[in-house]
Amino acid sequence: MSENKVTLSVIKADIGGYVGHSASHPDIIQQAQEILGQAKAKGLLVDFYVTSCGDDLELIMTHTRGNDCADIHKLAWDTFIECTRRAKELKLYGAGQDILADAFSGNVKGMGPGVAEMTFVERKSEPVVVFCGDKCAPGAWNLPLFRIFADPFNTIGLVIDPSMHDGFRFEVHDVFAGKDMILSCPEEMYDLLVLIGSPENYCIKNVYRKDGEIAATSSTQKLALIAGRYVGKDDPVMMVRCQSGFPAVGEVLEAFVFPHLVSGWMRGSHYGPLMPVAQRDATPSRFDGPPRVIALGFQLDNGWLVGPRDMFDDPGFDRARQEANELADYMRRHGPFEPHRLGLKEMEYTTLPQVLEKLLQREEKKQ
């Protein structure tokens, strides 16, 4: 990889919750900081920041080794294994939940953790926002990513900034077919919406400027498809480059003022509003939720992570949080009924089929 390129890797896993599925234990964060600190001292990492969103441990790392680097993935894997050991000592809930393989085999994709990585030449000034979600699925980013990069009612830069006026390209991942497709906006906006309007089936994986420059990336791994059974929601991450030819930081954050309904919440089986919160509030408790998202802003300085700024720690998002709480009340009043509970097709990867199968044995054919 060329010398002046930097890679931002965000690799995350739920390796145990404190208490239940609501948060991470401080010992786990400390353990991860120590391991990544050693990797930085050895020169494997340029810099790192460890945090949590709900019960998910988030490793935010910079280095110069490109996407899918086996050494970096092994570092993340080893960190999760070591933190799982500590989680087991503390008898944290669901210790090792997302560790779905016995041994590391070159890349953590397909082994349980979620991964988002992008490599680029750092600009004169490089603002990046890292988003981490809990109690939701990768499709949770579809609506905000569309609004950020394709909706002029959200992003005025698409209209008045000549460097953004050509629009962006969206790489969409077909979750069940395992294939990807590129759609260009604004020309193919309606086609894009055909796909991404079904976020359980299609997830926006990457967004590119028309000159090919990477603008945003997200984790699209689905645990249930890897494990073949319910193992919690995927609690995705994404990162967005901002300013000077990309949407402004404020345009990026504006997409989260609308607390849209996402699948996840209790038992990964319910629709609920995605609430933008400060890091200190990333501890879903009510009905194991409601789903939430944090936004950590960094300025890169030759790969060093200057920050983070806790971007949703702003009274400007109070109304969004209030609306999310009102929507949460409204959705909760449906109890076990759809559309609060996911449709039967989406419940396929929860524990419901076990109950349903037994029940259906009682069905009798009537003439």
108's tokens: 């953590």
Q: Which of 12, 14, 202, 271 is catalytic?
A: 14
- Residue 278 beta carbon to ligand F6R: minimum distance, rounded to whole angstroms: 21
**Following CA atoms 134, 297, 72, 132 in sequence, which dihedral angle do they give, to the nearest 10 degrees?**
10
> What is the full DSSP assignment across 44-106?
S-SEEEEEEETTEEEEEEEESS-TT-HHHHHHHHHHHHHHHHHHHHTT-BTTTTT---SS--S
Q: CA-CA distance, 346 to 270, in Å (whole number)? A: 10
> Across the strands, what pairs with 304?
301
Q: CA-CA distance, 232 to 16, in Å (whole number)? A: 12
- Residue 349 beta carbon to ligand F6R: minimum distance, rounded to whole angstroms: 12
91's tokens: 């008898």
Contact partner at residue 254 from Mg ion, ligand F6R, none, CB < 5 to 8 Å by partner kind: none
Task: Enumerate binding residues for Mg ion (CB under 5 A).
Answer: 14, 17, 21, 54-56, 94, 134, 235
Task: Enumerate binding residues for ligand F6R (CB under 6 A).
Answer: 20-21, 94, 135, 232-233, 266-268, 288
Using Cβ positions, the residue closest to ligand F6R within the complex turns out to be 288
Task: Tell me, yes or no, if 358 is annotated catalytic.
Answer: no
CB 294 within 8 A of CB 129: no
- Residue 104 beta carbon to Mg ion: minimum distance, rounded to whole angstroms: 21
Q: Which of 98, 233, 288, 349 is catalytic?
A: 233
CA angle 273, 279, 285 (to 5 degrees): 50
- In the bound state with ligand F6R, the residue whose beta carbon lies nearer, of 73 and 270, is 270
Cα 222 versus chain centre, distance: 11
- In the bound state with Mg ion, the residue whose beta carbon lies nearer, of 14 and 251, is 14
Task: Tell me, yes or no, if 211 is annotated catalytic.
Answer: no
- In the bound state with ligand F6R, the residue whose beta carbon lies nearer, of 186 and 353, is 353
Contact partner at residue 267 from Mg ion, ligand F6R, none, CB < 5 to 8 Å by partner kind: ligand F6R
Residue with tokens 């345009």: 251
Contact partner at residue 266 from ligand F6R, Mg ion, none, CB < 5 to 8 Å by partner kind: ligand F6R
334's tokens: 């449906």
- In the bound state with ligand F6R, the residue whose beta carbon lies nearer, of 138 and 268, is 268
- In the bound state with ligand F6R, the residue whose beta carbon lies nearer, of 240 and 266, is 266
- In the bound state with Mg ion, the residue whose beta carbon lies nearer, of 146 and 230, is 230
Residue with tokens 């009682």: 362
Contact partner at residue 20 from Mg ion, ligand F6R, none, CB < 5 to 8 Å by partner kind: ligand F6R
- Residue 229 beta carbon to ligand F6R: minimum distance, rounded to whole angstroms: 12
b/e map of 90-114 (b: 16 or more CB within 10 Å)?
A: eebbbbbbbbbeeebeebbbebbbb
Contact partner at residue 288 from Mg ion, ligand F6R, none, CB < 5 to 8 Å by partner kind: ligand F6R
Q: Which of 18, 202, 230, 271 is catalytic?
A: 230
Task: Tell me, yes or no, if 230 is annotated catalytic.
Answer: yes
- Residue 269 beta carbon to ligand F6R: minimum distance, rounded to whole angstroms: 8
Catalytic residue IDs:
14, 230, 233
